[in-house]
Amino acid sequence: MRKEPTVICPFCMEHQPLTKTLTAQSNQNVIFTCSRCETSIRNIETSKG
């Protein structure tokens, strides 16, 4: 059984599953959204973007 990677919110320190916090954009950047504190960080560059 594989364990899903987690992401830690830099504001509230909540651990959340990767698939529920990161959203891919068409320009190959990602959006982080915390479901606990509702903080959103946009246009995070990836290694391809």
**C-beta neighbour count of 21 within 10 angstroms:** 19
Pairing of strands 29-33, 22-24: antiparallel
**pLDDT by residue for the chain (49 residues), tens digit each?**
788 999 999 999 999 999 999 999 888 899 999 999 999 999 988 887 5
Q: Residue 27 has what pLDDT?
A: 86
Rounded CA separation 22/33 (Å)? 7
pTM score, whole prediction = 0.80
pLDDT value at residue 1: 75
Determine the pLDDT at residue 28. Answer: 86
